[in-house]
């Protein structure tokens, strides 16, 4: 396969409602899509960097810039998706940008070969269970209304975003309203410190699946110390940037569950390696979400169908975040989504919708 070039396309996608976490509130996603054009097929990738460097050091303008100036020119002699990571290795960081390029090349390669991403990664199921991430809200009654709607829609797991001042009492209210049988977990997005260990231990009484990333992403030892105080399983997200990072966290007993986000680790091939490391260590994994469009959502669903993904992930239906998706919408049935079976990621943007939402586009030859 010979790569001819890449189209960088920015799309603005309004959210159906504001999504608030401990590091900010989103009302619209500024998404960078990547189209790889090759001599055999085109492929699509999605960069999950946010508008601002809050979740991670990456941000969408920076991702576009590093692709344009450094990453894409380095792919001149690349002929397979497996070669992308090695070609980009000299450039430090920028995993979300690298992952988007690799995803686009991988999609093109698999489309040309008539193989699905799910089968390529090692899928073992046709559907995956859906969890939903519920943001921080203005009041507990508003939160309870939202959780009730999501449960009525069929979501099999609820994740609550938390921060200091919006944690123990909020979780208690959800448990009292909906009972102990619902699968419930919380996500702090690095909002706490080790000094909050005793406070976080108050969450133990609620039978949570896990506490996700309570401390700073670089504080792996702090998570190991926290795990000695808190009975609820500690799950790492931002701290897991590669398979090697996963190995280190597991050996240090800093995590007993891992959230795998392909963009955060540099792509779906590295995400599979993280999965394999976790399976070998007996550590359950689940697929995190980054408010992706249908492009990224399709690939995440494929990843979530691997055997080690034993917990429901943030692979919600399109309607959770978008009134109009850029692909055919993903619709949940009985709390599950179908794994795309077509070549590549199995979906493609709908041209009219894509054009309507596009804010800029740029062609870069290789």
Q: What is the pLDDT of residues 15-40, one digit of tens each?
A: 999 998 988 899 999 999 999 999 99
pLDDT at residue 198 tops 90 = yes
Average pLDDT across the chain, whole number: 97
Alpha-carbon distance of 199 to 166, in angstroms, equals: 12
Q: Convert the pLDDT of each residue in 284-322 to its tens digit.
A: 999 999 999 999 999 999 999 999 999 999 999 999 999
Give the mean model confidence (pLDDT) for residues 86-92.
97
For 75-99, give the DSSP string.
GTT--SGGGHHHHHTTS-S-HHHHH
> What pLDDT does 330 receive?
97
Torsion of CA 255, 258, 259, 261, to 10 degrees: 110
Q: Is the pLDDT of residue 162 over 90?
A: yes
Given 89, 92, 98, 161, the catalytic residue = 161
List, in order of start, the domains of the chain with CATH numbers.
Answer: 3-114+350-365 (3.30.390.10), 118-338 (3.20.20.120)
* Count helices and strands in the chain by DSSP H and E runs: 13, 13
What is the pLDDT, as a whole number, of residue 22? 86
Rounded Cα distance between 242 and 260, Å, is 10
> Tens of pLDDT along 55-70?
999 999 999 999 999 9
pLDDT tens-digit readout, 91-109? 999 999 999 999 999 999 9
Catalytic residue among 92, 159, 228, 261: 261
Q: What is the pLDDT of residues 237-267, one digit of tens each?
A: 999 999 999 999 999 999 999 999 999 999 9
What pLDDT, on the 0 to 100 scale, is given for residue 175?
A: 98
pLDDT score of 195 more than 90? yes
Residue 161 known to be catalytic: yes
């Amino acid at each position: 396969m010979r790569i001819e070039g890449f189209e960088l396309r920015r799309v603005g996608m309004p959210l159906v409602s504001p999504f608030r976490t401990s590091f900010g509130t989103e009302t619209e996603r500024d998404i960078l899509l990547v189209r790889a054009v090759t001599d055999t097929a085109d492929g699509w990738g999605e960069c999950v960097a946010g508008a601002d460097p809050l979740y991670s050091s990456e941000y969408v303008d920076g991702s576009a810039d590093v692709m344009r100036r450094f990453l894409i020119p380095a792919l001149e002699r690349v002929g397979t998706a497996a070669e992308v990571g090695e070609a980009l290795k000299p450039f430090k960081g920028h995993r979300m940008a690298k992952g988007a390029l690799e995803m686009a090349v991988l999609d093109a390669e698999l489309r040309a070969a008539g193989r699905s991403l799910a089968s390529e990664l090692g899928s073992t199921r046709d559907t995956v269970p859906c969890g939903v991430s519920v943001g921080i809200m203005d009041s507990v009654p508003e939160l309870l209304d939202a959780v009730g709607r999501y449960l009525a829609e069929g979501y099999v797991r609820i994740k609550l975003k938390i921060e200091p001042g919006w944690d123990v009492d909020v979780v208690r209210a959800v448990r009292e309203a909906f009972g102990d049988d619902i699968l419930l977990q919380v996500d702090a997005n690095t909002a706490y410190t080790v000094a909050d260990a005793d406070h976080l231990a108050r969450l133990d009484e609620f039978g949570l699946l896990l506490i996700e990333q309570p401390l700073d992403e670089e504080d792996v030892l702090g998570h190991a110390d926290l795990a000695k105080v808190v009975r609820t399983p500690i799950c790492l997200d931002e701290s897991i940037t590669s398979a090697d990072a996963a190995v280190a966290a597991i050996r240090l007993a800093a995590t007993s569950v891992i959230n795998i986000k392909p963009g955060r680790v540099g792509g779906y091939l590295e995400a599979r390696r993280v999965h394999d490391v976790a399976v070998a260590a007996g550590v359950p994994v689940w697929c995190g979400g980054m408010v992706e469009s249908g492009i990224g959502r399709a690939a995440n669903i494929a990843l979530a169908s691997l055997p080690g993904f034993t917990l429901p992930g943030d692979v919600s239906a399109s309607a959770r975040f978008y009134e109009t998706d850029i692909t055919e919408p993903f619709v949940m049935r009985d709390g599950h989504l179908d794994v795309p079976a077509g070549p590549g990621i199995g979906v493609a943007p709908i041209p009219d919708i894509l054009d309507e939402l596009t804010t800029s586009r740029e062609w870069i030859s290789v």
